Amino acid sequence: MTTLEVPTDGLFGLANLPYGVYSVSGGQPRVATRYGDYVVDLAVLLDDDTFDSPSINRFMAQGRQRWVDVREQIASLVTGDILAAAVHTLDEVTLHLPIEVADYVDFYASQYHAANLGKLFRPDNPEPLLPNWKHLPVSYHGRSSSIVVSGTGIVRPNGQRKGPMDPVPVFGPSTRLDIEAELGFVVGTESAMAEPIPVEEAENHIFGAVLFNDWSARDIQAWEYVPLGPHLGKSFASTISPWVVPLLALQAARIPTPTQNPEPLPYLRMDEPWGLDIDVAVEWNGQVVSRPPYAAMYWSPAQMLAHLTVNGAPTSVGDLFASGTISGPRKEQRGAFIELTWGGAEPVNVAGERRIFLEDGDEVVLTATAPGADGTRIGFGEARGRILSAT
């Protein structure tokens, strides 16, 4: 038996207890929690086969009461004597994608991001937001198979692009490779066809949240996206953080969203505060270039889930929906480089170089923290990716 010494002021204390999937050399991936810098095997800790699994999907499917009960059990057990076989340190393990992703939807829920892109792409239009934007959380489906865990190399995508001066499209590696700093929300329990999930039921379905980097090839996207939306400009890769922070750990982070005016249609109205006071940071080659505030997001995750099921679409265990780029009102709060550099007109200084988009070898790391229970703060770990040369 062993006991774990974990500082009470760290980001992975008892107020966090996220879920992830790890393996040690030669072993099968299994479910763990992170406590301090320890990775604690939950099948061993809890003596429960649910966690002898390569994803957390089986556990999530058991529903919210189990999420509550298991969280209490973990908190109780990690502070006592535990089997040494349950314990690894972070540097001993490989972390894997924590969920088996079913359907993936990306939203567009930041008013500042949507308005910035409107000004950049439709400069002649006096109203930067499109007419539907304040009535519904605009969104689209993305590719599930290219969602990868933090640390996976991101190969620069090839594709078609056509600049305003090009007579015909050209093919080659993207020259405008960007990020989008987002949160992703993990759906833990399924819902049936023709049975929408109302806002007030969202807590029974949303299991937790991860950091999400929606890598974006702006040149490919600009040429392809009319009229059916983004596809190849996004589908090459998205990076998530390895630890799913439970919604149960985010109760202290819940705040009202910004005022929604006009008042949304009844199916989008909220009785509970569903905004999230999460501070995100974007590091570019080791330098923080932006601090997007999740608190500024206009549409909440409960509204996103209510909207995406209101037409009767069923959900599955492991569905993932992302927030869209998190941008705040100030320049240094913009979560995509196309905004941060204003389409390239205002390069940013990254370690002494003037930069606009990503170059091969660049590394981007997203991190985030939020208020936890009892005045603590909790961390999301990181979503890290380095750009590799195009094939």
Kindly list the residues in this chain that would bind a copy of itself in the complex (CB under 8 A). Answer: 102-103, 105, 108, 130-132, 135-136, 138-146, 148, 155, 157-160, 162, 168-169, 171, 193-196, 217, 220, 223-233, 235-237, 262, 265-267, 307-308, 310-316, 319, 391
Residues 175/357, Cβ–Cβ less than 8 Å: yes
Minimum distance between the CB of residue 172 and a copy of itself, rounded to whole angstroms?
10
Nearer to a copy of itself, 208 or 233 (CB): 233
Facing residues of 321 across strands? 105, 185
Whole-angstrom distance, CA of residue 161 vs CA of residue 166: 9
Residues 320/100, Cβ–Cβ less than 8 Å: no
Nearer to a copy of itself, 32 or 237 (CB): 237
Minimum distance between the CB of residue 252 and a copy of itself, rounded to whole angstroms?
33
Q: In this structure, what token pair is assigned to residue 226?
A: 């009319």
Please identify which of the residues 88, 113, 205, 307 carries the catalytic annotation: 113
Distance of CA 301 to the CA centre of its chain: 12
Residues 260/235, Cβ–Cβ less than 8 Å: no
Nearer to a copy of itself, 94 or 146 (CB): 146
Whole-angstrom distance, CA of residue 344 vs CA of residue 355: 8
Nearer to a copy of itself, 169 or 329 (CB): 169
Minimum distance between the CB of residue 132 and a copy of itself, rounded to whole angstroms?
6
The one-letter amino acid code at 206 reads: I
Which H/E stretch holds residue 61? none
Minimum distance between the CB of residue 390 and a copy of itself, rounded to whole angstroms?
8
Residues 229/349, Cβ–Cβ less than 8 Å: no
If DSSP codes are grouped into helix, strand and coil, which group holds residue 308?
helix
Exposure on the CB side of residue 262, measured as CA atoms within 13 A: 9
Nearer to a copy of itself, 224 or 339 (CB): 224
Q: How many CB atoms lie within 10 A of CB 143?
A: 15
113 is annotated as an active-site residue: yes
If DSSP codes are grouped into helix, strand and coil, which group holds residue 55?
coil
334: alpha, beta or left? (left if phi > 0; alpha if psi -120 to 50): beta
Whole-angstrom distance, CA of residue 275 vs CA of residue 323: 12
Whole-angstrom distance, CA of residue 302 vs CA of residue 295: 14
Nearer to a copy of itself, 111 or 139 (CB): 139
Minimum distance between the CB of residue 128 and a copy of itself, rounded to whole angstroms?
12
Contacts of 256 (CB under 8 A, 6+ apart): 273, 275
The one-letter amino acid code at 371 reads: P
Distance of CA 348 to the CA centre of its chain: 24
Contacts of 181 (CB under 8 A, 6+ apart): 211, 213, 280, 282, 290, 292, 325, 326, 335, 336, 366
Minimum distance between the CB of residue 295 and a copy of itself, rounded to whole angstroms?
24
Nearer to a copy of itself, 195 or 346 (CB): 195
Minimum distance between the CB of residue 183 and a copy of itself, rounded to whole angstroms?
18
Nearer to a copy of itself, 144 or 175 (CB): 144
Minimum distance between the CB of residue 193 and a copy of itself, rounded to whole angstroms?
6
If DSSP codes are grouped into helix, strand and coil, which group holds residue 247?
helix
- Would you name the residues annotated as active-site residues? 113
